[in-house]
């Protein structure tokens, strides 16, 4: 690949920015593999009854079997993929990565699912289980409540038979196949 030759972006040429566009396109082509690899790395997290990887597969399987659309299922699969990068804000991290590819409501659900999960365990750690209530007026509030209650919170069951990653991989690839466009 050619190199860009500017030392300041405002001195770049059309040719330089065609190279930059190619770099972004290459990065986007690799994104599904990177996210799926991060997801698979969660298999080493054995502090739960099942690995965090299996938790993600189980969450996505439940959403799939409930008839949720493909974008929702892919979001369910990837919801904890960035746990190792941001244990306290992993939802915000994966939401930022997926924002160009998902609906506003799925983006918001990803961003907020960590807080909404405290409804189920907050009392054990001195956290306000109802902290999510501050967002009741948001259009995605009920969607996020449902995601946590029906899919995320219940998906630590070693007896539940989840689908393999191969079921979801094509969904992730289709989700991330949008052509790159500059931010507006």
Interval 37-52 mean pLDDT: 92
pTM: 0.91
Taken in order of first residue, the domains within the chain and their CATH numbers are 25-175 (1.10.3210.10)
Mean pLDDT of 92-107: 96
Residue 1's contacts (CB-CB under 8 Å, 6 or more residues apart) are: 19, 22, 23, 26
Q: Is the pLDDT of residue 181 over 70?
A: no
Instruction: Give the position of tokens 């995320």.
Output: 152
How confident is the model over 100-120, as pLDDT tens digits? 999 999 999 999 999 999 999
- CA-wise closest residue to 157 among 42, 66, 59, 43: 59
The predicted-structure confidence for 1-23, as pLDDT tens digits, reads as follows 688 888 899 999 998 888 888 88
């Amino acid at each position: 690949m050619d190199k860009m030759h500017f030392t300041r972006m405002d001195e770049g040429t059309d040719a330089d920015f065609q190279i930059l566009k190619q770099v972004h396109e290459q990065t986007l082509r690799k994104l599904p593999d990177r996210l799926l690899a991060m997801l698979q790395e969660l298999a080493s997290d054995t502090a739960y009854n099942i690995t965090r990887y299996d938790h993600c597969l189980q969450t996505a399987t439940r959403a799939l079997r409930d008839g949720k659309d493909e974008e929702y299922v892919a979001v369910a699969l990837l919801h904890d993929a960035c746990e190792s990068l941001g244990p306290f804000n992993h939802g915000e991290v994966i939401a930022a990565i997926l924002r160009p590819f998902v609906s506003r409501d799925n983006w918001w659900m990803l961003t907020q699912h960590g807080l909404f999960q405290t409804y189920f365990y907050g009392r054990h750690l001195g956290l306000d289980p109802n902290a999510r209530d501050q967002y009741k007026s948001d259009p995605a509030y009920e969607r996020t409540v449902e995601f946590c209650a029906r899919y995320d919170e219940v998906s630590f069951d070693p007896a539940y038979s989840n689908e393999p990653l191969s079921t979801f991989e094509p969904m992730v690839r289709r989700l991330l196949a949008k052509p790159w466009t500059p931010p507006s």
